[in-house]
A and B are shown apart, each in its own frame.
Chain A
Amino acid sequence: MIKSKLSEFKSMQERCSNCSYCKWLPLDKVKSNRFAKNCPSSTYFNFNTYSARGRFQLALALVDGELEYNDTMTQVVHSCTGCGACDVSCKICRYNLEPLEHQIAFKQDAVSSGHVLPEQLKIINSLKNQKTMLSGEVKSSRTKWAEDLKIKNVLENKADILFFPGCKYSYNTQLRGLLKCMVKIMQDAGENFGYLGEADCCCASRAWQMGFADEFTDRANSNISVIESAGIKTIVTPCADCYHGFKRLYAELGLKVEVLHFVEYLDRIISEGKLKLNNTLDITVTYHDPCHLGRQGEAYEAWNGHEKKILNQVHTWEPRRPRYNGAKGIYDAPRRVIQAIPGVKLVEMERIREYSWCCGAGSGCSETLPVYSLATASERVAEARSTNAEILVTACPWCKSNFEADGTMKVIDITELVIASLEGGVL
């Protein structure tokens, strides 16, 4: 749900059973002691307080008036990267708890009562004033990437597909080059597509991750109006956060368009024969599943129901509640794209797909709690190195930049791999 009250979760807070499954990978998937944990915040800060269970218990005390916000609680609430790993592990066997939804509600409660981290205010101010969540960037330079490209403005010339690059690609000078390549791939595939021109703004989904529900909704509704006025049928974005925003959150706000991550688009045109990857890359890579493309990349399903007890005390939902447990996330498309490149060998890490370890950048943590965020990224890079892969590939610019900050392994966007094969280049 886009916005909810913490008190509405009281039954879940009391029914969380303290089993601690939220701190581990799905236990069937544990392959070593070293990489058995799943939760960045409880792994870094160590106290139970930082687990989904701890947050259920804290929130219950808050709802019952036994505790009030203090600096620690504010940090606990906002240290959740919103990765959803706890949600997957919990819901292997629980059908009536929603840890991730609860954590977002907890953040919203903190924000609405003024308990935020200092850096979050800068980010939100940037969203309001410059229409980007990259504080320090300005709106006027957002579409510089498109200046030399023959790409149409969908508000001026009708197109079926909206190419939506997102803040990170738009402002980062290194990533801007990739946008040009993406545009060329779509042009070569003969797509009728364009971008939003000056109307292009942040999707704001990270604001939602951080608990700023109103700020998200304002921005999202503006974007939806623009997208609907352009008559767009499909949105293609290379950013996992934007993807999640459009596919799950905007859909809840009423946007009815097909949403594709660029890697899904690549997978589609490769299978249709529109993109041929002929050049061999003799390289071993491992792939990181971004949280918002993977386990949180499931499509939105409308639900407006309530709890219903059956068999006296078994609590369930009426009507059937959508079960977001990561099972239908986007995992196979990126792997098919990687394996479509001649010579590339894909080796898997231990924590993959719906039980992937987070990059640490989620919910703005790379800006608000940078030391913790970097430690989370380094944990993932260590896992990637343990596979003996030469390169860590991902499909999200936030993951990429956080991994690069670790500095111990080469990290690339999956599109770079494709381009290298297309151009016969060297990585």
Chain B
Amino acid sequence: MKELSAAIYAELEAIVGKENISNDPCVLQTYRCQAAHSSAHYGPYDHLTPTPRAVLLPGSTKEVQDIILACNRHGLKYKASGTFWAAHGYIGSDYAIQLDMRRMDKIEIDPLNMIAIIEPYVCGAALQAETMKHSLTCNIPGCGASCTVLGNAAGWAGSGPMSIYTGNAYECILSMEWVLPNGEIIVTGSAGSGCGWFSGDGPGPSSRAILRSAMGTAGEMGVCTHMAVKLSPWHGPAVLDSYGDAPFYRAKLPENFRAYAIGFPTWKDWADANVLLWHTGINIIGHRQFSMFGRDIKGPMLNILTDPDKQLCDLPELMQDEEMINTNESLHREVYVVLAGTSEKDMLWKEKTLEKILEQTHGWKDKFMLDPEREKWLLLYLIRMGHKNLNFVLCGAYEGHFGFGGGNPYLAGEYLEEAMALKKEWEQKDDFLAAVGGDAALTNPSSWGGGGMQGWETFACYDPHDKVSIKKTCDYFTNVSDRWMKSKGFGGCFGKSNESCRKSDGYEYTQEEHNQMFSKMPDTTPYIYQWKVREAVNPNHLGSSYYATLDPNYKG
């Protein structure tokens, strides 16, 4: 394997300083992703990602630029990551370095223009806390408030429970500063013309879509070093204060905030209610969040999370409890919503509107979650999204699978029950997945601002310490969920949706492998187009294979 020469290391060290670079094997080991968790939809593989040749902590755009220029000079690959939530933030080849962006964590807020200019390491919780001081809030990443807002917007899908109100993360992107893979710095949108950071398009060059692409660049197109994000009005206090014992932290919020768990008797009613929520725009937050635990343990898990004395070992007993059985049934087809009134009158209207929606769709407010203290917990949970490591609570690992995209909420009634029955069948047939009652499907009333877009993701929880559990989960994705999805015309399993990004051994694909893969696609145009984009800005091919390209001259 090619080693990083002392001369190149010294060159990199001169850029960031001795304290901010390491090639110590201990440090390098901790910049490898155990792909069995948070693998971000390329399957639960039993491998670590490759070991970087060095880890660097750049502190400025200039340092990032100098690092990338050095990488170009020496044919050294690199990847930048902010909060390292998932595998796509890690390198995928042997001769590569890892950039850890944690020294770049500044926030600048322009309250009058309702924007924040952020650096890569700013996490959702910190940005929201700062924006609330100005009666504003940001879109919290769906993966939770621990994750970088910039990375979520530039590098990934970017929807979350608040997206219906604030817009999806990529809808919130305004001007950006990128260090391109060739080392050139580009400033997109209005800031590119020195007019301020308020707009993502014009009068400067509008490279936003190219740089970000549809699903985010996953660290491919160089390094986004600054981003202006759109903020939305926050009608609560300047500080999101809370009380209570962990994990039952509860929000201290005024009466103009309410949180409800609403349930419905049929999927048709559920879908009707989702459409009405879009149309009326009464909720700042909406999500089918706690379904992630599973249909049979949803109520018991809500009980555990709102009682500091309970633990997972209480699940079996709680699953037999009559109140919990009723809660599971009440929340079989549910949405969790937060209403925020701008005034007493506005709140009255929103409450009445919700009542009317429930009346028309035969829905109800779940009794268990109407408890005033649980409501305050729900408010805090949904507003801050500070508990998303709950994704891992049952087994230590999960992966999304199945998955229905598009704008049609009525898909659920047609397909979800069948898919979830299939999952439940496998939970009972073998023991590699957590047996949670099949349905562990999450969705937003809308993952776009204002409504009209709904995507489903179903959690499969398995044990990353148990190699059999990992292997069988992989097989299940390939042989069961992927086949079912394709048989229904939905394309592939969500858990395998990034299978073309990184191989199961944690390494990236070669261009030859990608050529073979993408030349078989019904429409090769997007891959050839992306090849051209990459050739323009990344001539030395220093990124990873998350960016899908097909060589137009390939004759395979």
> Interface residues, chain A, CB within 8 Å of chain B?
10-11, 14-21, 24, 26-33, 36, 46-49, 53-54, 57-58, 61, 66-67, 70, 72-73, 76, 88, 90-97, 308-318, 320-321, 323, 325-328, 354
B185 proximal to A (CB < 8 A): no
Task: Evaluate contact between A47 and B464: CB separation under 8 angstroms.
Answer: no
Chain B residues engaging chain A, CB cutoff 8 angstroms: 19-20, 22, 24-27, 29-34, 36-38, 55, 57, 83-85, 100, 102-103, 105, 107, 122-130, 144-146, 239-240, 242, 245-247, 249, 297, 305, 308, 311-313, 315-316, 380, 384-397, 427, 431-436, 461-466, 469
Alpha-carbon distance A18/B388, docked complex (angstroms): 12
Measured CA separation A226–B242 after assembly (Å): 45
Q: Which residues does chain B contribute within 8 Å of A72, judged by CB atoms?
A: 22, 24, 26-27
In the complex, are the beta carbons of A15 and B389 less than 8 A apart? no
**Which B residues are in CB contact (< 8 Å) with A31?**
129, 239-240
Most buried by B among A32, A57, A72, A314: A314
Q: Are A28 and B432 in contact (CB under 8 A)?
A: no
Chain A residues near B129 (CB-CB < 8 A): 30-33, 36
Residue of A nearest to B390 (CB): A93
**Known: A15-B396, A32-B130. Is A312-B431 also a contact (CB below 8 A)?**
yes
Q: Is the CB of B123 within 8 A of A36?
A: yes
A313-B432 in contact given A31-B129, A49-B27, A96-B396 (Cβ < 8 Å)? yes
Chain B residues whose CB sits within 8 angstroms of the CB of A313 once the complex forms: 394-395, 431-435, 461-463, 466, 469
Q: Give the nearest-CB partner of B145 in chain A.
A: A27
CB distance from A94 to the nearest CB of B (A): 6
Nearest A residue (CB) for B239:
A31
- Say whether A14 contacts B26, CB under 8 Å: no
Provide the main secondary structure of the chain B interface.
loop
Lowest 9 A-B CB distances belong to which pairs?
A27-B386, A15-B396, A327-B245, A54-B30, A33-B126, A30-B125, A17-B392, A19-B389, A27-B125
Contact indicator A47/B246 (Cβ below 8 Å): no
User: Which residues of chain A have C-beta atoms less than 8 A from B242's C-beta?
Assistant: 28-29
| In the bound complex, CA of A102 to CA of B57 (Å) | 27
| Alpha-carbon distance between A232 and B434 when the two chains are bound, in angstroms | 50
Known: A17-B396, A18-B33, A93-B389. A327 touches B246 (CB 8 A): yes
- A46 contacts B103, CB within 8 Å? yes
Residues of the A chain whose Cβ atoms lie less than 8 Å from the Cβ of B27: 47, 49, 72
User: Which residues of A are found within 8 Å of B249, using beta-carbon distances?
Assistant: 26, 28-29, 92
CA distance A46 to B55 in the complex (A): 11
Q: Are B464 and A14 in contact (CB under 8 A)?
A: yes
Residues of chain A within 8 A (CB-CB) of B127 are 33
Task: Closest B residue to A91 by CB, please name it.
Answer: B246
Which of A18, A72, A315 has the most B CB atoms < 10 Å from its CB? A18
CB < 8 Å: which of B38, B55, B146, B436 contacts A21? Answer: B146
Given A15-B464, A20-B83, A93-B393, check contact A314 B312 (CB 8 Å): yes
Q: Which chain A residues border B57 with CB–CB below 8 Å?
A: 46-47
Contact assessment for A312 and B427 in the assembled complex, using a CB-CB cutoff below 8 Å: yes
- With contacts A18-B85, A314-B394 known, is A67 near B434, CB below 8 A? no
- Chain A residues in 8 Å Cβ range of B386: 26-28, 30, 92
| Closest A residue, CB atoms, query B294 | A311
- B residues within 8 A CB of A53? 30
**A92-B392 Cα distance, complex, nearest whole Å:** 12
- By a CB distance below 8 angstroms, the chain B residues around A91 are 246
Q: A46 vs B99: C-alpha distance in the bound complex, in angstroms?
A: 12
With the chains together, A72 CA to B25 CA distance in Å? 9
Residues of B within 8 A of A90 (CB): 389
Q: A14-B36, A57-B32, A67-B26 are in contact. List 9 more A-B contacts (CB 8 A).
A: A15-B395, A27-B123, A36-B123, A46-B20, A46-B100, A47-B30, A95-B311, A310-B315, A314-B461
Taking a contact as CB atoms under 8 Å apart, the answer to whether B384 and A46 are in contact is no
CB pair A17 B38 closer than 8 Å: yes
Partner of B397, one of A17, A316, A328: A17
Given A36-B126, A93-B389, A312-B427, does the pair A47, B29 have CB atoms closer than 8 Å?
A: no
* B472 vs chain A, min Cβ distance (A): 10
How far is B246's CA from A342's CA once the two chains are assembled, in angstroms? 32
Cβ–Cβ contact A19 & B38, under 8 A: yes
Can you list 5 A-B contacts with CB-CB less than 8 angstroms, sorted by A residue number?
A46-B57, A49-B26, A67-B26, A70-B24, A88-B246
- Asked if B392 and A316 make an inter-chain contact with CB atoms under 8 angstroms apart, the answer reads no
A21 to B126, CA, bound (A): 13
User: Distance in Å from the Cβ of A353 to the closest Cβ of chain B?
Assistant: 10
Complex Cα gap A103–B38 (Å): 23
Q: Is the CB of A11 within 8 A of B246?
A: no
Cβ A20 vs Cβ B390 within 8 A? no
Q: When chains A and B are docked, how far (Å) is the Cα of A326 from the Cα of B246?
A: 8
Across the interface, do A33 and B427 meet the contact criterion of CB distance under 8 Å?
A: no
In contact, B34 and A92 (Cβ under 8 angstroms)? no
- Closest CB-CB distance, A388 to chain B, in whole Å? 16
Chain B residue with minimal CB distance to A69? B26
Q: Of B30, B38, B144, B297, which is within 8 A of A49 by CB?
A: B30
